Structure 1
Amino acid sequence: MTDLFEPSTAERPAALPSRGRSAASKRAARKRRRRRQQRTATVLVLVLALLGAGGYFFWDRISGSLGGLDLTMGLGGAPEDYEGPGVDPVQVIIPEGATGSMMGTVLAEADVVASTGAFTEAFESSPAASSIQPGTYELYTQMSAAGAVEALLTNEKVETEVTIPEGYTVEQVVDRVASVTEFSREELEEALGDPKAIGLPKAAGDSPEGWLFPKTYNVQPDDTAVDLLATMVDQTKAELDSLGVDSGDRQDVLTKASLVEKEAPEGFRGEVARVIENRLEIGEALYLDASNAYGLGKPAHEITKSEFADESDPYNLRVHTGLPPTPIANPGAASVEAVVDPPEGSWRWYVTVDLDTGETKFTDNYNEFLEFRAEYQEWAAENGY
């Protein structure tokens, strides 16, 4: 058995009697394969004998030009094919970029079809066959080749989709993945505890925060928690590479982008990124409540005055200058792009004056900032905040 297919526990077609695939049926399948090989050898010997001394050269040239002759042809010249809808459920993986012949090889090895040639003929006879997508499918052993093509065209792949929204923390990612896949929290946390296994760079330390890129992932049946998390980390690296971020700057970019992700209303990411850069350049504290909230594990509006003054919290950006120790979330592409290429501006403060519309005002004048803050407070009082 190869890693391209594996037995499944799904139900068989209703039209067939329910029975497990016994050792006897497996032996029978092996005998069928041996008989096909024996018939192939017989055909080859007969052809070479009839063609004479020049026959081998002719055969070699013809089989090479055809990309390899199917070795399960019967004496009548037609590739061997099964009849009926199939017997036992089995999962097969159609690789990315597979041709009809490559699919046939995978299916023949799994005993889904009787021969590569039969599937290739059925594939070429179906105008829609080229739309078959890569992925893991649940089929049945001993299907007709035409039935296998039809089943693949339904595109009912055996996989799980998990979507990670922008701004999720690692803890939220674990919760989401555990809720929609078969991975347990324990498996996911164990994988996260092995930074090297999931491809986390040294600059990240032992914290994967910020490195689990938000998008929709397809989880295949044979994937592990390490596989999925490593894919998320690889996606983050690919995003940073596409924007020309040097490996030595990745951690800082992700940290800034995570602050933008949690702080900036839609449409104002670039401006917030510029405020962060301007304040860092002159050594001013960032005063970003989202970082305090992350460090305390509570919403910003629940933070007390004493907590805002707590110097023991490294995520308290009111009392500590510079960036927090790690990203505070997993930023999306838009926030990363805003950090890499923020607009020009001298802003040092901003206030979202209307939480319903997201209207945000920016300034480099402290007195104007106080006016913006008063405007927000008036809005908050009128709207029950």
Structure 2
Amino acid sequence: MLGGASAAAYFTFEPQIKQVLGWAEPIDYTGSGTGRVVVTITNGQIGSDVAKTLASAGVTKTYTAFYKLLLKQDPQVQFHPGSYALKKQMSAKAALAALTDPKSKVSTQLVLPEGITVKGVIKRLADLSESTGISAAQLEVAAADYKSFGLPAEAPNLEGYLFPATYSIEPGQTAHAVLQTLVTTMFQHLDADGVAPADRHKVLTLAALTQKEGGSSADFFKVARVWDNRLAAGMPLQSDATVSYGSGGTTISTTDAQRADKSNPYNTYAHTGLPIGPISNPGDAAIKATLHPADGTWLFFVLVNGQTGETVFSTTLAEHNAAVKQWQAWLRAHPGFDG
């Protein structure tokens, strides 16, 4: 019994015991690190935010190492927004010294994930305004003048035309210049894929839909085929993502009233054919899937697992209805899920 009690006590207080005996694994690296990694600090971030960023980027070994150092040395230290060239596996002390050294600052890095919307792009850029000098208001004004970016005549806004990638923003760039770089990069990728300028809007509208609805990128080619099959059959696309976008939402969840709203030009339940434009900014994978869809007769697909992204593709309505029940069962088992 005493042995069992001792074992239980050990496992309960194992971290504390190891620390007292000097057995605990170090929480900090030693030295100035190796290689190169760029980390970005956005407006208003404080020490705890920076500590998380450094640890997740592999600069410091743990969040605790850097945050404890801040509390010990200078809890009021001010971090200036921008991007900094650091190294992997730096000691917390070396990382702090580098972040407060003006020589470490490099061109501000803007990271845009696939499927981000124009609103999301503006938000990310606005979060870097203290570093770039470009405000949210300037970005909104520039984006509203969407016809000045060389878009196809049928484009209703900038949505879909901002290529998701990592960009370096140099000091002195204007809001329009930054957005133009994103548009130009999208055109370059479309050109490389052999998309004629006259087809850009259609391709991006379909690719953006696949990007938002497609779940796993491995399914993109099958999703793209579903759109083509439905369009060829004169069927409405019936995408909840387009309805949500046109209603001002960001998820793939919609109500009966929203799906019945004919005033929404993005409502692919109420209107056949494509929506009036893209609903997100697609990446290369979604664009390539649109141009080279898989072979198949599928007319339906539905997500059946919100965590893994597993999707079921069906040719008949009966098959699809069975899959929908599977999805509904998953939702009931995971209350609060918001796709």
TM-score (ref. length: structure 2): 0.65
Decide whether aligned partners of structure 1 residues 155 and 200 sit closer, same or farther in structure 2, where only a CA change above 3 A counts: farther
- Asked if 1:166 corresponds to 2:114, the answer is yes
Match of 1:321 in 2: 272
Match of 2:205 in 1: 255
Decide whether aligned partners of structure 1 residues 274 and 200 sit closer, same or farther in structure 2, where only a CA change above 3 A counts: same
Match of 1:230 in 2: 180
Q: Output the amino acid matched with 1:373.
A: V
The alignment partner of 1:230 has SS state of helix
Decide whether aligned partners of structure 1 residues 351 and 196 sit closer, same or farther in structure 2, where only a CA change above 3 A counts: closer
User: Contact 1:169–1:209 (CA<8 Å) still a contact in 2?
Assistant: yes
Decide whether aligned partners of structure 1 residues 292 and 269 sit closer, same or farther in structure 2, where only a CA change above 3 A counts: same
The CA distance in 2 between the partners of 1:204 and 1:217, in whole Å, is: 27
User: Contact 1:264–1:272 (CA<8 Å) still a contact in 2?
Assistant: yes
Q: Point out which structure has higher relative CO (alpha carbons under 8 A, 6+ apart).
A: 2
- Asked if 1:305 corresponds to 2:253, the answer is no
Decide whether aligned partners of structure 1 residues 243 and 226 sit closer, same or farther in structure 2, where only a CA change above 3 A counts: same
Match of 1:98 in 2: none
Question: Could you tell me which of 239, 257, 262 is aligned with 1:288?
Answer: 239
The CA distance in 2 between the partners of 1:281 and 1:174, in whole Å, is: 36
Question: Could you tell me which of 221, 228, 232 is aligned with 1:270?
Answer: 221
Match of 1:208 in 2: 158
The CA distance in 2 between the partners of 1:204 and 1:163, in whole Å, is: 28
Match of 2:296 in 1: 345
Question: Could you tell me which of 322, 330, 334 is aligned with 2:285?
Answer: 334
Q: Output the amino acid matched with 1:170.
A: V
User: Contact 2:118–2:159 (CA<8 Å) still a contact in 1?
Assistant: yes
* Equivalenced residues, count: 233
Q: Output the amino acid matched with 2:257.
A: S
Match of 1:119 in 2: none
Match of 1:244 in 2: 194
Decide whether aligned partners of structure 1 residues 339 and 165 sit closer, same or farther in structure 2, where only a CA change above 3 A counts: same
Mark the structure with the bigger radius of gyration: 1
Question: Could you tell me which of 121, 128, 139 is aligned with 1:180?
Answer: 128
The alignment partner of 1:346 has SS state of coil
Deviations 1:340-383 (CA, angstroms, capped at 9, x unpaired): 11111110001111111111111111111111111111222222
The CA distance in 2 between the partners of 1:245 and 1:155, in whole Å, is: 43
- Asked if 1:354 corresponds to 2:302, the answer is no
Alignment of 1:14-93 (within 5 A): none
User: Contact 2:152–2:198 (CA<8 Å) still a contact in 1?
Assistant: no
User: Contact 1:200–1:208 (CA<8 Å) still a contact in 2?
Assistant: no
User: Contact 1:158–1:221 (CA<8 Å) still a contact in 2?
Assistant: no
**Residue ranges of structure 2 left out of the alignment (5+ in a row):** 1-101
TM-score (ref. length: structure 1): 0.57
Decide whether aligned partners of structure 1 residues 354 and 331 sit closer, same or farther in structure 2, where only a CA change above 3 A counts: same
**Percentage of matched positions with identical amino acids:** 39
Instruction: Note the aligned Cα RMSD (angstroms).
Output: 2.1
